Structure 1
Amino acid sequence: MTETNDKGGRKSLSLNKPLEVKKSTGDAGQVRQSFSHGRSKTVQVEVRKKRGAHTPTAAKPTLSAPAASGPKKTLSVGKSGAKKPAGQSGRGKDNRDEAALTSNEKAARLAALAGAREQAQRQQEIDREREAREAEEAARKAAEKAEADKQKKETERLAKRKSPEERRRAEEEEARRLMEAAEATKVAEAAVHREKKKAAAIEEPKRAAKPAAPSRPSARPAAGGADVDAGPADRTAGAARKKGKTPTRTTDDRGNPSAKRMGDQRRRSGRLTIGEALDDRGPKQRSLASVKRARKKQQMMQTAEAPQKVYREVIIPEVISVQELANRMSERSVDVIKCLMKLGIMATANQTIDADTAELVVEELGHTAKRVAESDVEIGLGMDDQDAEETLLPRAPVVAVMGHVDHGKTSLLDALRKTDVVSGEAGGITQHIGAYQVKLASGNVITFLDTPGHEAFTAMRMRGASVTDIVILVVAADDSVMPQTIEAIKHAKAAGVPIIIAINKCDKPAANPDKVRQELLQHEVFVEDMGGDVLSVEVSALNGTGLDKLQDAILLQSEMLELRANPERAAQGTVVESKIETGRGMVATVLVKRGTLRIGDNFVAGSAYGKVRALLDHRGNQVEEAGPSVPVEILGIQGAPVAGDDFAVTENEGKAKEIAEYRLRLEKEKKVTATARGTIEQMFSAIKEGTADELPVVIKADVQGSSEAIVNSLEKLSTDEVAVKVLLSGVGGITESDITLAAASNAMIIAFNTRANKQAREEAQAAGVDIRYYSVIYNVIDDIRAMLSGMLAPTLQEDFLGYAEIREVFNITKVGKIGGCMVTEGLVKRGAKVRLLRDNVVIHEGTLSTLKRFKDEVKEVKSGMECGMAFENYHDIQVGDFIECFEIKEIAREL
Structure 2
Amino acid sequence: MSKVRIYTLAKDLSVDNQKLLEILDSLGVSYKSVSSTLDEDTVDAIKGILAEESAATPSAPTDSQAASQTPAESTAAPQLQSAPPTPHHKDDVTAPTSNSVPSTAAQAASGQVSSAVAVQEAPPVQAPEIPHRAPVVTIMGHVDHGKTSLLDYIRKTKVAAKEAGGITQHVGAFEAQTSKGRIVFIDTPGHEAFTTIRARGANVADIAIIVVAADDSIMPQTREAIAHAQAAKVPLIVAINKIDLPQADVERVKTDLTSVNLVPEEYGGDTVVVPVSAKTGEGVEDLLEYISLTAELEDLRADPKGEFSGVVIESKVDKQSGVLATVMVQQGTVNVGDFLVVGETYGKIKALMDSAGNRIKSAGPSTPVQVLGFSEAPVSGDKVASASNEHTAREKVSVRVDTRRTVEEARQKRKLSLEEMMGPLNEVREVNLILRADTQGSVEAIQGILAKRETPEVHLNVMLAGIGAPTEGDVLLASTAEATILCFSVVPSGAVKKVADQKEVDLKSFRIIYELIDEVDRLIKGNIEPVFEEKYLGRAEVRMLIKHPKSGTIAGSYITDGSFKRNAKAKVTRGKQVVYEGTIVGLKRFKDDVREVQKGFECGINLDWNDVMEGDIIEASEMVEVPQA
Q: What TM-score results when the alignment is normalised by the length of structure 2?
A: 0.44
By relative contact order (CA 8 Å, sep 6+), the higher-ranking structure is: 2
- Select the structure of larger CA radius of gyration: 1
Q: Which structure shows the higher helix fraction?
A: 1
